[in-house]
Each structure stands twice: as structure tokens, then as C-alpha cells.
């Protein structure tokens, strides 16, 4: 037998969960949106990870298609943390598993360069 890796289970984020639901139940975005009573654009944003559903929505997702609401909420909370701090999801998962209580400092956004053109005197 090959070497078995001791690896912790992956964190279930909302995009992973919705992709699995779409695959298992052969649902389209509009079908999911209709079942959840939201617009299809909201479901697309959930699938891309640009929008994270609320706790109430997370419970309704798992009530419809199964799964653990609290585990999915953990993934959603990590997504929110990553968006707020700029930390990658893998780094956030490592921090949670390592038991670190503080995350990295949020970097100050770089000051945008002034791209206005300066008026120069024109000689004749």
C-alpha cells in the first residue's frame, strides 16, 4: 500500500458547497436562485466568492440540499475574514488550525499616483 497522508479535512466554503450541489443535483443557477428566492446574479456571486451569504441563508442552503450548517458557516466566516484582511484562504485555514488568536495586520492601501498632467507654458 502507498503512504497514507494524515491530512485534515478541507474547509467547506460556500463556492465549493454550491458547486457540489450543482453537480450532485444537476441544478442550474436559475434553479438554485428560484429555490432560494434570490436573483440568479446573487447565486453567481456566491459561486465566484465575491458575496458571502448570511447565517440565515446558510441555514436555508443546508436545509434544502443537506450538509452541516455550522461547518458551512465556518467556511463563510473564513471567506469574510479573507476579504477583510487580504489573507489567502489557505493562510486563514492554517491560522485557525494552528490556534493563532491574531491575524496579520491589515496593510494600508498604497497611495494612488497622481496622474494629472501639469500645464506647461508653451513658447511661441
pLDDT in tens, 48-103: 988 889 889 999 989 988 888 888 888 888 888 888 888 888 888 888 788 766 66
- Is 121 a member of any domain? no
- Is 120 a member of any domain? no
Angle between helices 55-65 and 14-25 (to 10 degrees): 20
Cβ atoms of 104 and 74 within 8 Å: the answer is: no
Task: Show the domain range for 39.
Answer: 14-98
- Is 118 a member of any domain? no
- Is 8 a member of any domain? no
Please report which confidence band the pLDDT of residue 113 belongs to, taking 50, 70 and 90 as the band edges: confident
- Is 6 a member of any domain? no
d(CA 97, CA 90): 11
The grid coordinates listed for 85 are 484582511
pTM for this one? Answer: 0.67
Q: Identify which of 73, 86, 88, 71 has the alpha carbon closest to the alpha carbon of residue 10.
A: 71
pLDDT at 9: 61
The grid coordinates listed for 29 are 443557477
d(CA 53, CA 76): 7
CATH code of 52's domain: 1.10.260
Cβ atoms of 75 and 14 within 8 Å: the answer is: yes
As a whole number, mean pLDDT of residues 36-56 equals 91
- Is 119 a member of any domain? no
Cβ atoms of 72 and 12 within 8 Å: the answer is: yes
Count up the domains in the chain and report the number.
1
- Is 1 a member of any domain? no
Q: Identify which of 78, 98, 83, 60 has the alpha carbon closest to the alpha carbon of residue 12.
A: 78
- Count of residues in the chain: 124
Amino acid at each position: 500500500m502507498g503512504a497514507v497522508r494524515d491530512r485534515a479535512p478541507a474547509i467547506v466554503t460556500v463556492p465549493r458547497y454550491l458547486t457540489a450541489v450543482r453537480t450532485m443535483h444537476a441544478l442550474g443557477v436559475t434553479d438554485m436562485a428560484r429555490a432560494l428566492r434570490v436573483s440568479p446574479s446573487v447565486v453567481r456571486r456566491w459561486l465566484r466568492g465575491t458575496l458571502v451569504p448570511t447565517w440565515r441563508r446558510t441555514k436555508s442552503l443546508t436545509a434544502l440540499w443537506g450538509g452541516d450548517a455550522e461547518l458551512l458557516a465556518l467556511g463563510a466566516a473564513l471567506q469574510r475574514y479573507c476579504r477583510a484582511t487580504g489573507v489567502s484562504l489557505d493562510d486563514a485555514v492554517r491560522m485557525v488550525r494552528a490556534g493563532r488568536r491574531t491575524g496579520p495586520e491589515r496593510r494600508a492601501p498604497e497611495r494612488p499616483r497622481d496622474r494629472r498632467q501639469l500645464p506647461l507654458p508653451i513658447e511661441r
